[in-house]
């Protein structure tokens, strides 16, 4: 933990967007602090294999990619503190980032706090989280070796989870509210070729049953309304993302989904405050685009600081 409290730039979030921004600002000799509440590298560290990041023809684990990004940025002097941002206060030419480790002040701020896994919001979900309900296959998948598990969702995250779980589980049942996956064709082809993966189409989870541990899922077929139950040892929920912007409400303009509105220079409505990555409105939510956003935000933060000097 550093005792220093004032910087040229503060970056909130240590995923690909934040680390890319930190690399650029640090190389430009701007005194930079990156604040990350969890694992540096962000959500990508949960990915067993990243196959679509340029430069890694055979793929690379998300954890290793995150470590490489961190090491590269730290090489140029990026300061990193483990803390959660709880607020942003604007004071004339300075911005105060409030955190669980105290307040930090900077002339420019880049918000790259990313997003969190969405929740189903059904009865039983909270009560059985950690007792059969999970949001991270790479974290908890090995606990379900030889058992039947379900994955809820139909996007890239859900199908990636299912493919990983197939290494351990005896059966993986993908529950999707539509009749077509939203995942990329490559991932879909891999999932359909995996004998352990089955699909329950046009189906939603209405309740998660179990007292001390998950016992079964209560399901509803959306087209017919028919209800059923499914016995599983675990359920992995991958139903979209929620931007981590609660600490910004009332400070920055957000869209209806809670995402930050920026222009092509990653500038927000507040001078000297930038946003990058998944947290930004209309972001493709890919590691490579997040890294590009971070670089763009950093370059324009430097220009902002030069003009203010």
Q: In the annotation, is 202 catalytic? A: no
Active site residue 46: no
HEC profile of the chain = CCCCCEEEEEEECCCHHHHHHHHHHHHCCCCEEEEECCCCCHHHHHCCCECCCCCCCCCECHHHHHHHHHHHHHHCCCEEEECCEEEEEEECCEEEEEECCEEEEEEEEEECCCEEECCCCCCCHHHHECCCEECCHHHHHHHHCCCEEEEECCCHHHHHHHHHHCCCCCEEEEECCCCCCCCCHHHHHHHHHCCCEEEECCEEEEEEECCCCCCEEEEEECCCCCEEEEECCEEEECCCEEECCHHHCCCCCECCCCCECCCCCCECCCCCEEECHHHECCCCCCHHHHHHHHHHHHHHHHHHHHHHC
Q: Which of 103, 139, 231, 255 is catalytic?
A: 139
The question of whether 139 is a catalytic residue gets the answer yes
The residue annotated as part of the active site, out of 46, 140, 278, 293, is: 140
Question: Which residue numbers are catalytic?
Answer: 136, 139-140
């Amino acid at each position: 933990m550093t005792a220093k409290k004032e910087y040229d730039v503060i970056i909130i979030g240590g995923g690909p967007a934040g680390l890319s921004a930190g690399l650029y600002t640090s190389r430009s000799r701007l005194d930079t602090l990156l604040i990350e509440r969890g694992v540096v590298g962000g959500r990508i560290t949960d990915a067993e294999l990243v196959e679509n990041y340029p430069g890694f023809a055979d793929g690379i684990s998300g954890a290793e990619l995150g470590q490489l990004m961190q090491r590269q940025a730290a090489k140029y002097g990026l300061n990193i503190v483990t803390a959660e941002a709880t607020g942003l206060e604007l004071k004339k030419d300075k911005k105060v980032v409030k955190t669980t480790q105290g307040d930090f002040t900077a002339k420019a701020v880049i918000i790259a706090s990313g997003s969190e896994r969405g929740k189903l919001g059904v009865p039983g979900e909270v009560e059985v989280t950690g007792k059969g309900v999970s949001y991270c296959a790479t974290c908890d998948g090995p606990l379900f070796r030889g058992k039947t598990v379900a994955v809820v969702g139909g996007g890239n995250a859900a199908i990636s989870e299912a493919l990983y779980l197939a290494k351990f589980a005896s059966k993986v049942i993908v529950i999707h509210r539509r009749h077509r996956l939203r995942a990329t064709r490559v991932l879909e082809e891999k999932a359909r070729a995996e004998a352990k993966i089955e699909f329950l189409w046009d189906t939603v989870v209405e309740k998660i049953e179990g007292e001390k541990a998950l016992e079964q899922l209560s399901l509803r077929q959306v087209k017919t309304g028919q209800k059923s139950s499914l016995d599983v040892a675990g359920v992995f929920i991958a139903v979209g993302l929620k931007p981590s912007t609660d600490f910004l409400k009332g400070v920055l303009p957000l869209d209806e989904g809670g995402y930050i509105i920026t222009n092509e220079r990653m500038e927000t409505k507040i001078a000297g405050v930038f946003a990058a990555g998944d947290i930004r409105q209309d972001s493709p939510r890919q590691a490579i685009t997040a890294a590009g956003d971070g670089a763009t935000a950093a370059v324009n933060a430097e220009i902002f600081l030069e003009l203010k000097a």
